[in-house]
Amino acid sequence: MEKIPNTIEAINRAAQNAPLDFIRRSEARFDGVLDRVVERVLEERGREIVMLAGPSSSGKTTTAKKLAERFRALGIETHVLSLDDFYLNRDQIPGFSEGAPDYETVHALDLPLLQSTLGDLLAGREVLLPMFDFTVGKRSDTSRAVTLGERDAVIVEGLHALNPLVAAHLPKKNVLKLYISVSSRIYNENGNVVLDKQDLRFVRRMLRDYRFRASPVAHTFSLWKNVISGEQKYLFPFRAQADMRLNAVHLYAPCVFRDEAIGLLQSAALQADDRKYADRLTGALREFVPLSPALVPEHSLLREFLGDTGLEEKTRD
């Protein structure tokens, strides 16, 4: 399959001349990425823990579900575990008593419970997976009983999935570490960056926050600097430990995000610095040929940010 260059000129030609083929090829590229993960898991059979980490709006939630579906189709019973469910209660978060809680640190998780849970899963013992209620900021009374059979798997997704404190006590032969991110920029033919990796993730995050969290665009802007800071401190130092890196870019995304994103950016009440960034994004997005979001396949990772499928629940990454 011929690769479409990540230039705006090539993207616009593909979107204008053969949009359905462009979308199909973009989706097929990411399907191939997931297929290679499945091949890696099949190389060594036994209880498997797949650690899936990545920055905000990289598509961790949907990718975990897609991998679980592929594993189940091959007879590997698979469970998805979110690290968010292992958060400490809000008043136990580091810095809470000082009025500056750090929700991004790995120590905001109940590490002893997480470590014992993963160890028990690999040993084939039944565990009760917690469920965190973000509406009240504490762990729910509800839990989920899970036992891994000898050839089963669990996918652990979250910001800290590559942190050594999470899985250092587990046998390396049973753990596959994945790092997912939007790993491609979009350039013009002169080599200038039109949208960088953070830009592409920010647009995803903004659309998802607005659609599924009833969160104003200004709120997404207010959070973004802390999100990036948390990733730089708590995620990026460990990405080199990943066994595989997954590029979640979908080159047609700016075309289908274009109109809604521009509308949100233009109508938002923003501080001066945020307005400057919003105007830059608006100018960049205007350069793309628009495509209808209705063309996005129901199984696409992009539906995590657009909705209209069973994947549009409130994701947290």
CATH code for position 142: 3.40.50.300
Distances (CA, A) of 91 to 102, 134, 200, 223: 11, 13, 34, 20
Task: Look at residue 1 and tell me if it is in a domain.
Answer: no
Confidence band for 312, pLDDT divided at 50, 70 and 90:
very low
Residue 215 lies in a domain: yes
Asked whether the predicted pLDDT for residue 313 surpasses 70, the reply is no
What amino acid is encoded at 126 in this protein?
A: E
Let me know if residue 187 belongs to a domain.
yes
Residues 163-188 pLDDT 10s: 999 998 999 889 999 999 999 999 99
Domains: count for the chain: 1
State the chain's mean pLDDT as an integer.
92
Residue 35 lies in a domain: yes
Structural domain that includes position 189:
8-306
Residue 2 lies in a domain: no
- Checking if the pLDDT of 151 tops 80, the result is yes
The verdict on residue 124 lying in a domain is yes
Residue 61 lies in a domain: yes
pLDDT tier at 2 (50, 70, 90 boundaries)?
Answer: low
How far apart CA 170 and CA 151 sit, in angstroms, is 17
Residue count of the chain, please give it.
317
Is the pLDDT score of 49 beyond 50? yes
Classify residue 222 by its DSSP letter.
H
Q: Is residue 316 part of a domain?
A: no
What confidence tens digit (pLDDT) does each residue in 95-115 have?
A: 877 877 888 899 999 999 999
Strand pairing report for 138-146 and 127-133 = antiparallel
Do β-strands 186-187 and 193-195 pair in parallel, antiparallel, or remain unpaired? antiparallel
